[in-house]
Structure 1
């Protein structure tokens, strides 16, 4: 993914919209979730999921549109089919898109019950979601989600026990974080709570390519595994880090109002683009080929050498 979108795609799908999430389907396909900007007099705003496809030096596109926006996150899957998933945050309904057929039935993560979803992540090719009261679910087939909760204890205090993020090296080596120092490890059979040396609020986790697990908290960035953790740098955040990823031998993180890059020695809160500082706040995803950041009004791709603005703020 390296080309700027054509003006006609920008005019139809980006002008007057703000990006709220992003996800990488493969090295040539990305999804961008966008909500229509509305005035104070407007009661409803539209929403769309934009698919951008790199074909040679050109960008092709597809989209799904909704007459009324809703709070959602976007995720992708490789198994059982490669496709995108729009996941309703407040209820847990799932709208699949793409793959070997045009239309798919709407799925419910938790049958006959609402599930507040906080994060969706692809692990070993399958979509996983986490949510309120330490909820963890995995999609194992089209339309089939199962609870992965063996060993997870019902929290005594329900006020701050949502899992906010999940990541894994494999499906048998997964970490989920949230709450005040609340971090758990799943070995493919059972969840066990990890000892963690702080009750700071944990917001994001990354199982990195160097074999370490990185955890973003409100005030520090942590590194370790299981019950051994060390703080590696202080964080001064406006809000929180919501996405944490390993790319190009560095840890990258961003949130609605924050951005970080840790190279193992120093912490940066902005990058240089054409000689000027650029703060990449928003949402983030990555694959082995590039890092993707969707800001509110622009989308950026980094291949390890240079940043490319594939969706400019104006055209």
Structure 2
């Protein structure tokens, strides 16, 4: 199980910051995106990308500091090498971190236009990104992003942009991918062509998970859905404070996480009250998982769950 961040590391790099996103690089390395807590309107807040590595019973670290924060999401990639990626939501710039170099040039997802990127997901080792106007992009090499839009081209009959922007993407593999967003807007990619799926609601879709049980799960404003292609069923109502931003399949259960919400669905019941060591836990924020563990980055804590035990890697009394 993971160790705790040392108090020295916390005070140097995390004190006065709040976590805003997280990602997994591999089974021993995680990324945490942290933004400096607001000081005054006149002062710029900083932002940090932290790489934490579990080695020899302790956590080692690396970090990249941005002197001015911006709205961002993060993900990792394995191609062409393992590293973290910081995505500028409004603009579509990407800052690689780690890997074989300390400093990398800033990348542009769409060199011909300004992109709005809402979510990134690693699929078959490659980083994919989705956003406004059904934008889907894949990073095939360093500073080399391509638009994967075959079948997604808008027509004159396309609905308004706010109804068709993607908020989530996930895939069983690179030839079996789903992207969701807008008002019941869900698409499937077979490695060559995107095809719109029939979906029984125009509710806002916010997150998607291609699970190990071979089903696709979709979080909407009011319901949790399960299915594939053109066959979908509602499996549970959602009565939450805000949207679910992340869905993960871990320990044979579906987990959902948003800025103010967290749930676990075991196939029968949906539990929004999670207890850790017998006490209610206030889990919310962002989430990522692998086959071996799940990471939940709350504003001031970072929880790792291995299927048996929850551990907050933030040192006590911080």
Alpha-carbon spacing, 1:110–1:137, altered in 2? closer, same or farther (3 Å): same
Paired with 1:41 and 1:173, the residues of 2 have a C-alpha distance of 46
1:165 match: 168
1:135 match: 135
2:71 match: 71
1:205 match: 208
Paired with 1:67 and 1:313, the residues of 2 have a C-alpha distance of 28
Paired with 1:132 and 1:87, the residues of 2 have a C-alpha distance of 14
Check the 8 A contact 1:233/1:267 in 2, yes or no: yes
1:279-313 Cα shifts (integer Å, max 9, x gaps): 31000000111000000110000000010000147
2:304 match: 301
Paired with 1:160 and 1:85, the residues of 2 have a C-alpha distance of 27
1:119-160 Cα shifts (integer Å, max 9, x gaps): 011011000000000000000011100000000141332232
Question: Once superposed, which parts of structure 1, at least 4 consecutive aligned residues long, lie more than 4 Å away?
Answer: none
Mean Cα deviation higher: 152-161 or 196-205:
152-161
Note if 1:100 corresponds to 2:103.
no
Cα RMSD (Å):
1.1
TM-score by length of 1: 0.98
1:174-253 mapped onto 2 (5 Å cutoff): 174-253=177-256
Check the 8 A contact 1:297/1:312 in 2, yes or no: no
How far residue 314 of structure 1 moved from its aligned partner, in angstroms, is 3.4
Paired with 2:39 and 2:99, the residues of 1 have a C-alpha distance of 36
Check the 8 A contact 2:39/2:45 in 1, yes or no: no
1:269 match: 272
1:111 match: 111
Gaps of 5+ in 2: none
Gaps of 5+ in 1: none
Matched position secondary structure for 1:264:
coil
2:285 match: 282
Check the 8 A contact 1:269/1:279 in 2, yes or no: no
Alpha-carbon spacing, 1:108–1:276, altered in 2? closer, same or farther (3 Å): same
How far residue 15 of structure 1 moved from its aligned partner, in angstroms, is 1.0
Check the 8 A contact 1:72/1:87 in 2, yes or no: yes
TM-score by length of 2: 0.97
Aligned residues, how many? Answer: 315
Check the 8 A contact 1:134/1:162 in 2, yes or no: yes
Matched position secondary structure for 1:199:
coil
Alpha-carbon spacing, 1:313–1:132, altered in 2? closer, same or farther (3 Å): farther
Matched position secondary structure for 1:311:
coil
